[in-house]
Amino acid sequence: MTTLHIDSSISGENSVSRTLTRSIADGIGGETVYRDLAESPLPHLTFGEFADTSVLEEFLGADIVVIGAPMYNFTLPSQLKAWIDRIVVAGRTFRYTENGPEGLAKGKRVIIALARGGIYSAGSPAAALEHLESYLRGVFNFIGIEPEFVAADGLNISPRHKEAAIAAALGETVRLAA
Ligand SMILES: Cc1cc2nc3c(=O)[nH]c(=O)nc-3n(C[C@H](O)[C@H](O)[C@H](O)COP(=O)(O)O)c2cc1C
């Protein structure tokens, strides 16, 4: 079993998503490949640049993928989007058929640790601005994967709220890694 562990927060040791992905990856154990998209950003795709498939192969080679996804401006960090752009590839992770698109990356477990400053749950005033979890669920569904989520929310509301949200999410990471 190989785990691919990906972080994308720019907040280093203070990052909540990094704390959560570390807990999940440590809990799973075994062989782990680590990729830090903030420390070593992938360039944007450029015209005609599809030759380097190393990021795609790394993804395809993993049985479990653990992803740290902080919310930046209501969606995912552009560093993480640059990685998504390299793994959503026609003919490799999805294909178009007469019955519509078909995901080809089935059988992989994807666990995503979300960290959000505010609250975006259904019915909350900011719910319509939630483009992080909804986007990641949609894009992984498109390639044939139902991702699992753990979330620490409302991190910027108050220090007390932050502490409680992290503690609850860390408890959830133990369950996910078991
Ligand atoms: C550039 C930037 C943009 C952010 N935009 C949002 C936002 O749109 N909504 C939100 O709820 N929190 C936002 N935040 C707060 C982060 O989601 C929050 O601090 C979270 O803890 C980040 O994850 P991390 O701790 O892993 O870095 C933003 C933070 C940064 C640095």
Contact 132, 75 (CB under 8 A): yes
Which residues have C-beta within 8 Å of that of residue 70, sequence separation ≥ 6?
8, 9, 11, 15, 16, 17, 77, 114, 115, 116
Complete DSSP assignment for 44-111: PP-TT-----HHHHHHHT-SEEEEEEE-BTTB--HHHHHHHHHH--BTTTEEEETTEEEE--TT-EEE
Nearest residue to 152 via CA among 116, 119, 128:
116
Complete DSSP assignment for 125-171: TTGGG--SHHHHHHHHHHTT---EEEEE--TTT-HHHHHHHHHHHHH
Looking at residue 46, its pLDDT comes to 85
Question: Model's pTM, two decimal places?
Answer: 0.97
Does any ligand 1 atom lie closer than 6 A to the CB of residue 124? no
Does any ligand 1 atom lie closer than 6 A to the CB of residue 162? no
Average pLDDT along the chain, 178 residues, taken 10 residues at a time: 97 97 97 98 82 92 98 98 96 96 97 98 96 98 98 98 98 95
Q: Six-digit token pair at 38?
A: 């903030």
Does any ligand 1 atom lie closer than 6 A to the CB of residue 156? yes
**How far apart are the C-alpha atoms of 53 and 50, rounded to whole Å?**
7
Index of the ligand 1 atom closest to the CA of residue 16: 25
Does any ligand 1 atom lie closer than 6 A to the CB of residue 19? no
Does any ligand 1 atom lie closer than 6 A to the CB of residue 121? no
Based on its alpha-carbon atoms, the radius of gyration of the chain, rounded to whole angstroms, reads 16
Which single residue is written with the structure tokens 């790394």?
58
| Strand-strand pairing, 94-97 and 100-103 | antiparallel
The residue whose C-alpha atom lies closest to atom 3 belonging to ligand 1 is 72
3-class DSSP state for residue 18? Answer: helix
CA angle centred on 22, ends 4 and 124, rounded to 5°: 100
Index of the ligand 1 atom closest to the CA of residue 19: 26
